Structure 1
Amino acid sequence: MSQQEQESNTLCPIMFAGTGSDVGKSIITSAFCRIFLQDGYHPAPFKAQNMALNSYATPEGLEIGRAQAVQAEAAGVSCHTDMNPLLLKPTTDKICQVVLNGRPVGNQHAYEYFRVEGREELRKEVNEAFDRLEKRYNPIVMEGAGSISEINLRAVDLVNMPMAIHAKANVILVADIDRGGVFASVYGSVMLLTEEEKKYLKGILINKFRGDIRLFESGIKTIEELCGIPVIGVVPYYKDIYIEEEDSVMLQTKNLQATYGKVNVVVVLLRHLSNFTDFNVLERDPRVHLYYTNNTDEIEKADIVLIPGSKSTLSDLYELRRNGVAQSIAKAHKNGATIVGICGGFQIMGQEVCDPNHVESNLDRLPGLGLLPVTTQMEGEKVTRQVRFSFLGSETVCEGYEIHMGATVPVGGAKDSPLNKLDDGRDDGYFLNDKCFGTYIHGILDNEVVIDYLLAPYADKLSDTPFDFNAFKEEQYNKLADHVRKYVDMDLVYKIMGESAQ
């Protein structure tokens, strides 16, 4: 579709809101981003407020939720903070770091954050982000958060119906039939909306269906009669499509024991683990068996131990020492396993982590694992940037991104031994030997030269060919779009989006 055709076929924004959390809004949003791209449009995702530890650095070096970065990738565009202007990163069960337009603006207690006072300032910020985005893309594919009908939070809601009203978006209510109670959740969600909000609700999508869809035909009719809103589709549950997940809630299900015939890679399951998508390439690599665990026996059996990023490095380091995992990592290293730390994991591998200004915790200092001769001091300024770099002097240009607080340098008397040379001349990480190194760069394992180096000591176990992750992701986005398109009435969707909301 040409630019002129796009302008004459401008679509109203569409929002996928939910009957609750984890109903599949993020995945459905990704699917429609790819569908609109396939159909010749220039779409972009938008979520006013996201709560997640899994974040990503934009090309401008700013921070957004990883889910919106994935959706942007599905839409075929570069990610931008306007796609997720407000990001909440939990530091405890009740306190979050608030990231506004890509920059941290402080920590807030949940009670303080959800107060009415000062809310309009944040509302203005997210509305303006949407307005800027809408001028550049067509259509905007919006995602809600949690339930569409959290009536106790209606006055302070920034992301669901108030955002839809500002955007004049057509809202599709997504319900998860797999968890049961779909009739009550859909009907209750609709009935709890105000009359003004109901004007924007244009369709219902039933997600994660298992079994013969023909058996639910009467259910579709019942929902439409009860709610007076059409069901645009019933999307079956799938098992053979792999899209990055928004959070780490399912990582424990990947806690599988070591296996024979492959390189066994364990990711240490930290309590505040962040950016677990660093390991997606390895997880899909046919040469590798990757699993997440904090079981000491399983760690000691691994060929490679990866210590991931953490939102609370000192807290997780303290826990590793308390539960015996620190000793298991040291034992695995002594027995010949490769140990690699990324971001917070790199900090943990050093001699010490210091926090004299209490940036992250009330602890002034904790001894690290002692695997690398480096020391880390936490600092208030957060580093967020995309980077290009050379890995161990390789001529191959690698890519990744940094999101961290703190600076790591060699301890007194230790030689400089950087792992990476960034294209701006800076050094990154520390290389002790081919089985012990650390880096601040997220996404380092997305680069083939790094994967090959990591797996080289285990050549006797390798038989499969290297894995092309970028081609794999493109295939998955297309498979997801085809899957959703097959079970959704796209003619009805386009009809809805061709009409103005209300």
Structure 2
Amino acid sequence: MLRPIMFVGTGSDVGKSVITAGFCRIFKQDGYHPAPFKAQNMSLNSYVTADGLEMGRAQVVQAEAAGISCQSDMNPVLLKPTSDKSSQVILNGKPVGNQSAYEYFMANDRRELFASVKETYDRLAAKYSPIVLEGAGSISELNLKHRDITNLRMAAHAGAATYLIGDIDKGGVFGSIYGTIALLTEEERACMKGIIINKFRGDGRLFEDGKRMLEDLTKLPVVGILPYFRDIHIEQEDSVSLDSKYRKSVTGRVNVAVVLLRRLSNFTDFDRLENDPRVNLFYSHDPSEIAKADIVIVPGSKNTIEDMLAIKNNGVAKAITEAHKAGKTVIGICGGYQILGTGIADPSQVEGSIESIPGLGILPVSTVLKREKTTLQCSFSFLKSDVAGKGYEIHMGDTEVSGAESPVALLGDGRKDGYYLSDKTWGTYIHGILDNDHVIDHLLAPYTSEAPGHRMSFQEFKEQQYNKLAHLIRANVDMDQIYSSLRN
């Protein structure tokens, strides 16, 4: 048995999720039975467990790295932003309503919620060792710390050896690390066991003087300096990672534009497609760039009606319909499927005050949003393929064919999901449909005769990436010091 370990940060997007995944894989390789845990996650990237419960994808990735099935206990609270000021709250895998940021963070001290989170953690800790916890944002938000259910209050409950991660690529690493430690109470400092510098460019030996200075300032050991890497592909949690994907069309490959919606959800739907050597995939809300694409994908959205209104106002809607008229491929996934239809109605005001809005009219389907959320894993056969596919559904709407027209089934297993208009125009509720190679080959067939060649399965690819990440961490982190802190 090892005591739990926790990775916290000087701020958001410093690499906590990826490093947590890497340590989950290391502990698995070393013969332990680890499991990830993040008390509260804020993300539009979510997943559905085998028992139909919703959780953040970051903990799904970490569970994969640990070699275990994901379960909602690994992420008991998930906040899915519906606007700049409110979020849908998912508690223990089920939605419990929408709350404004003030209502959620300020209206009470969240004692009951923290008690529930601790019970969930204890349940998980009874089955796995070590638990690899991930913090959220910065651990030194003075105005919120007494309401914290995710960072050092959770570390204290778990008795976790806690390591602070700082992102040197952002600049100001001395100030961010020293300031973070300086603002901790004595009780909080007692949790801290060391510092990891992340995203170092160049020869790490050049930072030896900086390492000693940080250790003198904080009285904590710098246990590792992790290099900046581009050749290891781990699913990212935050949409800020999309900044590096605002690329443009290129020659020589199939150009795939994913429409950059304001409330884009589950952008990990496109990771497999993005790593296909035949493809140049980019995200854009620029109509001129979308017009250059061979394939346009309208992705999922946490607020479909507002995103529909936004793309009508910024010219993207016209670019999508023009692409369809020009014979290019246009497909929609989940909220994107709803957008491609004739209209979206929200009589119960699930998403907001707008009760209905016309869609793009590309598919003869219409959607009514409902309060009950559909969350399930599914297996399917795509069109007439005899190859089994896997995916999952997360949506709060029912979509029906308009008028008397009979739909052509998108799925070949008798299920009603989706609408197939032609090889180049279809929509579906299934997230992860593009993780299936035969669906990708069907999508690209009109634009390239290049054979995909030998390729490993997506799961094999991910296993390779977890192992590469573990190797990188072992080579740059003092694992003896890490293990020593977990055995004390």
Secondary structure, aligned partner of 1:249: helix
- From 125, 147, 166, give the equivalent of 2:116: 125
Whether contact under 8 Å (2:345, 2:369) holds in the other structure is: yes
The aligned residue for residue 3 of structure 1 is none
Whether contact under 8 Å (1:281, 1:445) holds in the other structure is: yes
The aligned residue for residue 322 of structure 1 is 313
Whether contact under 8 Å (2:344, 2:358) holds in the other structure is: yes
Aligned mates of 2:265, 2:386 — CA distance in 1: 30
The aligned residue for residue 5 of structure 1 is none
Kindly tell me the number of residue pairs found equivalent between the two proteins: 487
- From 278, 281, 295, give the equivalent of 1:304: 295
Aligned mates of 1:325, 1:111 — CA distance in 2: 33
The aligned residue for residue 392 of structure 1 is 383
Aligned mates of 2:251, 2:454 — CA distance in 1: 19
Instruction: State the AA in 2 paired with 1:223.
Output: L
The aligned residue for residue 491 of structure 1 is 480
Gaps of 5+ in 1: 1-9
Whether 2:443 is the aligned partner of 1:454: answer: yes
Return the offset for 1:466.
Answer: 6.1
Aligned mates of 2:346, 2:364 — CA distance in 1: 18
- From 421, 435, 453, give the equivalent of 1:465: 453
The aligned residue for residue 16 of structure 2 is 25
**How do residues 95-174 of structure 1 correspond to structure 2 at under 5 angstroms?**
95-115=86-106, 117=108, 119-174=110-165
Whether contact under 8 Å (1:282, 1:288) holds in the other structure is: yes
The aligned residue for residue 7 of structure 1 is none
Secondary structure, aligned partner of 2:136: coil
Whether contact under 8 Å (1:116, 1:156) holds in the other structure is: no
Whether contact under 8 Å (1:343, 1:439) holds in the other structure is: yes
Aligned mates of 1:234, 1:249 — CA distance in 2: 23
Whether contact under 8 Å (2:274, 2:280) holds in the other structure is: yes
Return the offset for 1:40.
Answer: 1.2
**How do residues 213-224 of structure 1 correspond to structure 2 at under 5 angstroms?**
213-224=204-215
The aligned residue for residue 70 of structure 2 is 79
Whether 2:435 is the aligned partner of 1:438: answer: no
> What's the CA shift string for 1:429-456, capped at 9, x where partnerless?
0111111100000000011121111112
Secondary structure, aligned partner of 1:375: strand
Moved more, 215-224 or 201-210: 215-224
Aligned mates of 2:241, 2:134 — CA distance in 1: 21
Whether 2:395 is the aligned partner of 1:407: answer: no
The aligned residue for residue 339 of structure 2 is 348
> What's the CA shift string for 1:77-101, capped at 9, x where partnerless?
1111111000011111111111000
Return the offset for 1:381.
Answer: 0.5
Return the offset for 1:152.
Answer: 1.0
Return the offset for 1:426.
Answer: 3.3
> What's the CA shift string for 1:87-146, capped at 9, x where partnerless?
011111111111000111011111111126261111011111111111111111000001
The aligned residue for residue 230 of structure 2 is 239
Whether 2:367 is the aligned partner of 1:376: answer: yes
> What's the CA shift string for 1:314-371, capped at 9, x where partnerless?
0011111111111111111111111110000000000111111111121121111111
Secondary structure, aligned partner of 1:392: coil
Aligned mates of 1:16, 1:377 — CA distance in 2: 42
Instruction: State the AA in 2 paired with 1:489.
Output: D
The aligned residue for residue 324 of structure 2 is 333
Gaps of 5+ in 2: none
Instruction: State the AA in 2 paired with 1:288.
Output: V
Return the offset for 1:467.
Answer: 4.3
Whether contact under 8 Å (1:305, 1:339) holds in the other structure is: yes
Return the offset for 1:404.
Answer: 0.7
Return the offset for 1:416.
Answer: 2.6
Return the offset for 1:474.
Answer: 1.3
**How do residues 45-56 of structure 1 correspond to structure 2 at under 5 angstroms?**
45-56=36-47
Return the offset for 1:464.
Answer: 4.1
Moved more, 111-120 or 266-275: 111-120
Aligned mates of 2:300, 2:167 — CA distance in 1: 31
Aligned mates of 1:30, 1:346 — CA distance in 2: 32
TM-score normalised to structure 2 length: 0.97
Whether contact under 8 Å (1:341, 1:439) holds in the other structure is: yes
Return the offset for 1:418.
Answer: 2.5
Whether contact under 8 Å (2:109, 2:147) holds in the other structure is: no
Return the offset for 1:73.
Answer: 1.0
Change beyond 3 A, Cα 1:467–1:341 = farther
Aligned mates of 2:197, 2:241 — CA distance in 1: 22
Return the offset for 1:475.
Answer: 1.3
Moved more, 246-255 or 389-398: 246-255
Whether contact under 8 Å (2:162, 2:191) holds in the other structure is: yes
Secondary structure, aligned partner of 1:56: strand
The aligned residue for residue 182 of structure 1 is 173
Aligned mates of 2:232, 2:266 — CA distance in 1: 20
Aligned mates of 2:378, 2:84 — CA distance in 1: 32
Whether contact under 8 Å (1:31, 1:484) holds in the other structure is: yes
Return the offset for 1:250.
Answer: 3.2
Return the offset for 1:421.
Answer: 4.7
- From 345, 362, 383, give the equivalent of 2:353: 362
CA RMSD, aligned part only? Answer: 1.3
Whether contact under 8 Å (2:254, 2:448) holds in the other structure is: no
Whether contact under 8 Å (2:42, 2:80) holds in the other structure is: yes
Return the offset for 1:256.
Answer: 2.2
- From 208, 211, 229, give the equivalent of 2:199: 208
Moved more, 47-56 or 260-269: 260-269
Secondary structure, aligned partner of 1:145: strand
Instruction: State the AA in 1 paired with 2:478.
Output: D
After the TM superposition, which segments of 4 or more aligned residues of structure 1 sit over 6 Å from their partners?
none
Aligned mates of 2:20, 2:346 — CA distance in 1: 40
Whether contact under 8 Å (1:13, 1:170) holds in the other structure is: yes
Aligned mates of 2:285, 2:175 — CA distance in 1: 39
Secondary structure, aligned partner of 2:380: strand
Q: What is the aligned-residue identity percentage?
A: 59
- From 269, 272, 277, give the equivalent of 1:286: 277
- From 51, 58, 69, give the equivalent of 1:67: 58
Secondary structure, aligned partner of 2:468: helix
Return the offset for 1:283.
Answer: 0.3
Aligned mates of 1:234, 1:427 — CA distance in 2: 51
Aligned mates of 1:229, 1:122 — CA distance in 2: 32
> What's the CA shift string for 1:169-216, capped at 9, x where partnerless?
110111111222222222221121111111111111111112222221
